[in-house]
Amino acid sequence: MPEVSTQSRTVAVPGGSLDLSWAAVTDTGRRREVNQDAVFATYPLFVVADGMGGHVGGEIASASTIDRLKAMVEHGSVSPKAIEKALARAVKDIASHPEATDDGTGTTLTGVYLDTTGDAAHWVTLNIGDSRVYLVREGSIIQITTDHSVVQELIASGRLSPEEAENHPYGNVITRAVGPSEGVTPDYVRLDVAEGDRFVICSDGLTKELTDYGIRHFLDENPDPADAARAMLDAALENGGRDNITIIVLDVGHPVPPAGDDVDEADGDSSTAEF
């Protein structure tokens, strides 16, 4: 079982500071020989990539993408423009690798980063493919990202119900990926920052084995991010572990105003996410 531990950080945001804590874990699962998932969880960016294609092509694609995003964070700038430049570099890396040039090679990418550049801090989710970002707010779990998959397109067109989608033969076919042959732009969603929010960022190795209700159950039972990530991983493995499994749990603590300032009541209100 891979080790998983909780990291914490107090970060400066407009009007004060914010307490964050998170944990990340990745596992090959019970049926795969190689882990083609990759993960990066360092403030302000928390992302998961799920590679696909070839003997090692998916591993190369996901690792290349995460490496380029890590370099972006180390350079000190996280924005849609910077992310897309990093992905363009990753596409070139994948295309130039001799073991990752077939048409089926690529990777999903999904995650969230904290944007502190405006008058108020916001979360921004990014997504390519069918890995997911979930948000638990005020007791409800919401899938923030929209899958780029054949099955999701069939659901959106009314030709398939969510229940029918569970065992659809095209369940693994995605319609957008970071790959060796073309550039791709993520979908972005901006979210207000609210105390008590919990994010789950995961590859489909988790969602193949746990329902949304199951994810929420393990979050409710485990206040600590590492405990929650470990519990979900254990459950996914017990349910079959048919794919690689990668999970980030990210918690938003109480916003802290500058020293000497009174806390405005609005600072504690949970705002509806901007969809």
The rounded distance, in Å, linking the Cα atoms of 180 and 203 is 20
What's the pLDDT score for residue 105? 87
Q: Which of 57 and 155 is assigned the larger pLDDT?
A: 57
What's the pLDDT score for residue 179? 83
What's the pLDDT score for residue 150? 72
With respect to residue 271, please indicate whether it lies within any of the assigned structural domains: no
What's the pLDDT score for residue 169? 57
Structure tokens at 6: 């909780």
Torsion of CA 113, 58, 243, 204, to 10 degrees: 30
State the residue for tokens 């500071």.
Answer: 17
The torsion angles phi and psi of 232, rounded to 5 degrees, stand at -65, -40
Strand-pair category, 109-115 with 45-52: antiparallel
With respect to residue 233, please indicate whether it lies within any of the assigned structural domains: yes
Strand-pair category, 37-42 with 140-143: unpaired
Taking each helix axis as running N to C, give the angle between helix 57-75 and helix 80-96, from 0 to 180 degrees, rounded to the nearest 10. 140
Q: What is this structure's pTM? A: 0.88
For 253-258, what is the mean pLDDT? 63
Encode pLDDT of 194-219 as tens digits: 999 999 999 999 999 999 999 999 99
The rounded distance, in Å, linking the Cα atoms of 68 and 1 is 28
Looking at the predicted structure, is the pLDDT value of residue 97 above 80?
yes
Average pLDDT of the residues of the chain: 86
Bond before 44 cis per omega within 30 degrees: yes
Looking at the predicted structure, is the pLDDT value of residue 246 above 70?
yes
In percent, how much of the chain has pLDDT > 70? 80
How many domains in the chain? 1
Q: Which of 194 and 98 is assigned the larger pLDDT?
A: 194
Q: Which helix (H) or strand (E) covers residue 222, if one does?
A: none
What's the pLDDT score for residue 262? 37
What's the pLDDT score for residue 273? 43
With respect to residue 15, please indicate whether it lies within any of the assigned structural domains: yes
The rounded distance, in Å, linking the Cα atoms of 82 and 95 is 20
> Please, which pLDDT band fits residue 171 given cuts at 50, 70 and 90?
low
For 11-36, what is the mean pLDDT? 95
The rounded distance, in Å, linking the Cα atoms of 112 and 99 is 30
Return all residues near 187 (Cβ < 8 A) that are at least 6 apart.
126, 127, 128, 145, 146, 148
State the residue for tokens 């307490």.
Answer: 19
Range of the structural domain that residue 213 is part of: 7-256
What's the pLDDT score for residue 272? 35
With respect to residue 136, please indicate whether it lies within any of the assigned structural domains: yes
With respect to residue 272, please indicate whether it lies within any of the assigned structural domains: no
Looking at the predicted structure, is the pLDDT value of residue 227 above 90?
yes
What's the pLDDT score for residue 264? 33
Strand partners, 123: 114, 191
Encode pLDDT of 3-20 as tens digits: 899 999 999 999 899 999
For 75-102, what is the mean pLDDT? 88
> Please, which pLDDT band fits residue 275 given cuts at 50, 70 and 90?
very low
State the residue for tokens 């919401």.
Answer: 142
> Please, which pLDDT band fits residue 95 given cuts at 50, 70 and 90?
confident
Looking at the predicted structure, is the pLDDT value of residue 241 above 60?
yes
What's the pLDDT score for residue 162? 65
Structure tokens at 145: 């990202």
With respect to residue 197, please indicate whether it lies within any of the assigned structural domains: yes
- CATH number of the domain where residue 147 is located: 3.60.40.10
What's the pLDDT score for residue 196? 95
With respect to residue 114, please indicate whether it lies within any of the assigned structural domains: yes
> Please, which pLDDT band fits residue 76 given cuts at 50, 70 and 90?
confident
Looking at the predicted structure, is the pLDDT value of residue 92 above 50?
yes
Lowest-confidence segment of 118-132, 143-157, 258-272 by average pLDDT: 258-272
Cα-based distances in Å from 28 to 41, 91, 119, 242, 263: 18, 24, 42, 9, 46
With respect to residue 264, please indicate whether it lies within any of the assigned structural domains: no
